[in-house]
Amino acid sequence: MRLLLDTHVLLWWLTDDRRLGAQARALIANADNSVYVSAASAWEISIKRALGKLRAPPGLDGTVEEAGFEKLAIGFQHAERAGALPSLHSDPFDRMLIAQALLEDLVLVTADKSFAEYGVQLGFAGD
């Protein structure tokens, strides 16, 4: 299985947060699965950290590598797809993750059930 972690799921995984459910933990930990982290998540975390809205350690790039996750760059097709999505969700970072999951055939691991409205494959992060 090919998984794309929503930003909050990445943070929950890295901090061993109990909000990350057992099923999602098992999917992420399964060595048979490929786990991707989008550049959109790095961008979102960096912005929120700079604004004082999020406490997150610096060095996310190395942390993602150490966790064994694959980095997913934002490409031109991703940007076009994110912009063309129906206006069901206004968060630009979430829209990018949805577009990437759709284009790259990834299961988006999230606690946000509203993503289902986009027809994206979901793996729910909570129990």
Each residue's pLDDT tens digit, 73-107:
999 999 999 999 998 888 999 999 999 999 999 99
For residue 50, give both structure tokens. Answer: 């700079």
What mean pLDDT comes out for the span 62-69? Answer: 94
36/5 Cα distance (integer angstroms): 6
Place of tokens 């097709």: 77
pTM: 0.94
Q: Domains in the chain and their CATH numbers?
A: 2-124 (3.40.50.1010)
| Virtual torsion, Cα 69, 70, 73, 79, nearest 10 deg | -80
13/9 Cα distance (integer angstroms): 6
